């Protein structure tokens, strides 16, 4: 598919993908995509990423149920960053049980946690 | 500074940094930061990035005047992605003269340009 070829995949075959919540416009997370994950995301309407730590394709929410329904896919000017507009199932994008992964805020040269855990990760993932 | 040490810099010493416009919540751009660019961003309140193509520190807007005033700096759960909340001078973040770098939208397996050029890049950067 030609549209996949237009993406400037990195040397490792990946590009960063930002997930932004459609309703709140909050930036939820940044994950990585390879060609297959972007193709599956477009085909299924659900966010698929490439897990660098596990070295495998990963359907967001496959374990947690916190899937991301994708409303829109955008590409940046350099064609090396993807932006997804999503609906976040369960209102939890982060593996820590928080709404967004960006819960640490810089205040006076310290990172301060400014968002609550909405659900205990032990409940989400089991023990 | 300890807060800089908490960031999980990549093997190349960089992390992705997302700039989100405070007023509109639009994601404007993704650029890269090294330790020095994040330190300068925090110290000056203006976004500084690391230009991978030019191999040097880069104060956003140094040529174009389209500086980004930084209102908030966040870090994600894995401590390897930065999120900036910014005011975008001139309302133009993209070197193509558009508001946001994410102006290409996937429609029916094609990337379609869905945002206008607000100012000719030749005017912004000179010839």
Contact B105/A73, CB-based, under 8 Å?
yes
Separation in Å, CA of A98 to nearest CA in chain B: 10
Alpha-carbon distance of A95 to B91, in angstroms, equals 34
What is the chain A residue with the closest CA to B43? Answer: A109
- The per-residue pLDDT for B127 is 66
Predicted confidence (pLDDT) per residue in B28-73, tens digit = 999 999 999 999 999 999 999 999 999 999 999 999 999 999 999 9
Question: Which pair of structure tokens corresponds to residue B4?
Answer: 């800089």
CB contact set of B121 (below 8 Å; sequence gap of 6+): B95, B96, B97
- The per-residue pLDDT for B126 is 85
> B113 falls in which pLDDT band (50, 70, 90)?
very high
Of residues A125 and A71, which shows the higher confidence score? A71
Contact B75/A26, CB-based, under 8 Å?
no
What's the complex ipTM? 0.97
How far does chain A reach from its first CA to its final CA, in angstroms? 41
Q: What average pLDDT score do residues A7-27 get?
A: 97
Question: Contact at 8 Å (CB) between B89 and B66?
Answer: yes
Contact B106/A3, CB-based, under 8 Å?
yes
Q: What is the pTM of this model?
A: 0.97
Burial B3-39 (b: 16+ CB within 10 A, else e): beeebebeeeebbbbbbbbeeeebbbbbbbbbbebbe
- Per-residue pLDDT at A37 exceeds 80: yes
> How much of chain A exceeds pLDDT 70, in percent?
98
Burial A89-121 (b: 16+ CB within 10 A, else e): bebbbbbbbbbbbbbbbbeeeebeeebeeeeeb
- Per-residue pLDDT at A84 exceeds 90: yes
């Amino acid at each position: 598919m030609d549209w996949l070829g237009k993406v400037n995949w990195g040397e490792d075959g990946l590009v960063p993908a930002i997930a932004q919540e459609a309703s709140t416009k909050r930036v939820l997370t940044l994950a990585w995509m390879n060609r297959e994950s972007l193709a599956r995301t477009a085909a299924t309407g659900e966010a698929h990423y490439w897990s660098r730590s596990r070295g495998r394709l990963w359907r967001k929410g496959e374990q947690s149920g916190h899937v991301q329904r994708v409303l829109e896919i955008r590409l940046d000017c350099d064609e090396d960053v993807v932006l997804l507009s999503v609906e976040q199932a369960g209102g939890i994008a982060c593996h820590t049980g928080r709404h967004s992964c960006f819960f640490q805020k810089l205040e006076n040269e310290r990172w301060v946690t400014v968002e609550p855990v909405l659900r205990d990760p032990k409940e989400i993932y089991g023990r």
